[in-house]
Copies of this chain bind each other. A is one copy, B any other.
């Protein structure tokens, strides 16, 4: 098996990955996911075709840290029916039409009374908002402002054919074993219904990262966790608390299919290796990308970064929460997604993993002055040129100058600005030339 070398990914690999991810997303789009229930299970079954998942069912009532796993929610139908027989907010038309975790309901009331139960988005009259009430018994409907305006006055019957009952919360895991027991954790939340960017995009990118890494010889063990937001990551941590210390780096994946630039959200300290790895990748390969400080108003990285857990987990996104209007609305649909964006997000993750894999300390074995690269074929023969020094030449010189046994390749990438994959190749060339020795035992 070979090692992870993103430089070897060609255009065809990207096209194939993008196509496969969008295809999987199309299949998953109609399912009604929530924090528990059949929608999540069906999603994980589909993902298992790409990367076989181990499934864990966490029973209702299980205490997970400060939380308790809630009842399982099952829904078959929901609608508002006017006395004329005309129906509105039909669940069969969109699973966003019903407030998530709505209790079973079959009530008659006039429109005025019903109005408090109906959520709309007046600023985007054609869009249906996404609303939930997981931890407080409630029910309600979401609909477009246009549809709401079309509702005639009179009596309505509000029907929600749901069930809240003891069941379980479903987690899926895929593990790619590396040579080390140290782990890289990749997390994608699974709890949103027909919403693409948030978070079918994270799910399909994670699935195809897993599928790609399977074929490779890696240093780290890569653990992919698919679980509902908040209660899911908390459940997973509670069930696996004893082995959390194996997680050396972590990445939450979400909102990776839109056309915007990449955004990396730093871990709590902002100084973790994953933060630095993401920064050098974004700087070298994605000039319009940005790193953003940790915020406790984040996704599941806020659970991993809580003070009693303290795992160095960051998050990779394209669109930013609170800054793209389609978020948590029916407009977060397949039209917002592109194969190219998904594929580039996937490659960015691989590039970050490549930094984690290759971040080693080396020792310059000829540390007094520069070694004579020329007689080793590592330096151009005719001197005197000054019109641009090749990056590879700079990479060799930076590594030799910095490799005092304390400085790692990631340190050198940060200081030199040279793309990490190229730098890692320079280090391997210097090792072959007998000028450099790695100070760990990661070599394949």
Residues of chain B lying within 8 A (CB to CB) of residue A268: 401
Across the interface, A367 reaches (CB within 8 A) one of B238, B308, B370, namely B308
CB-nearest residue of chain B relative to A407? B307
What is the CA–CA distance of A238 and B297 in the complex, to the nearest angstrom?
A: 52
Kindly report how many copies of this chain are found in the complex they form together: 3
- Within 367-424 of A, Cβ neighbours of B (below 8 Å) are at 367-372, 374-375, 381-389, 393-394, 397-398, 400-404
Residues of chain B lying within 8 A (CB to CB) of residue A368: 65-66, 234, 237-238, 241, 306, 308-309
A314 to chain B, nearest CB (A): 15
A225 to chain B, nearest CB (A): 14
Q: Is A364 an interface residue (CB 8 A)?
A: yes
A127 to chain B, nearest CB (A): 13
Across the interface, A369 reaches (CB within 8 A) one of B237, B375, B389, namely B237
Q: Is A305 an interface residue (CB 8 A)?
A: yes
Residues of chain B lying within 8 A (CB to CB) of residue A371: 66
Residues of chain B lying within 8 A (CB to CB) of residue A234: 368-370
What is the CA–CA distance of A64 and B366 in the complex, to the nearest angstrom?
A: 12
- Within 119-138 of A, Cβ neighbours of B (below 8 Å) are at 129-136, 138
What is the CA–CA distance of A130 and B383 in the complex, to the nearest angstrom?
A: 9
Residues of chain B lying within 8 A (CB to CB) of residue A369: 64-67, 233-234, 237-238, 303, 306, 308-309
**Is A307 a contact partner of B67 (Cβ separation < 8 A)?**
no
What is the CA–CA distance of A397 and B397 in the complex, to the nearest angstrom?
A: 46
What is the CA–CA distance of A66 and B378 in the complex, to the nearest angstrom?
A: 14
**Is A297 a contact partner of B389 (Cβ separation < 8 A)?**
yes
A59 to chain B, nearest CB (A): 18
A323 to chain B, nearest CB (A): 9
Q: Is A425 an interface residue (CB 8 A)?
A: no
**Is B383 a contact partner of A302 (Cβ separation < 8 A)?**
no
**Is A297 a contact partner of B393 (Cβ separation < 8 A)?**
yes
> Given known contacts A237-B369, A307-B364, A309-B367, what 8 new A-B pairs fall within 8 Å (CB)?
A66-B372, A136-B381, A296-B397, A302-B370, A302-B397, A306-B400, A321-B386, A322-B386
7 contacts between A and B (CB under 8 A): A238-B369, A296-B397, A296-B400, A303-B369, A308-B367, A308-B369, A322-B389
Kindly list the 7 A-B residue pairs having the minimum CB-CB distance in the complex, ordered from nearest. A308-B367, A296-B397, A308-B368, A296-B401, A307-B404, A234-B369, A66-B371
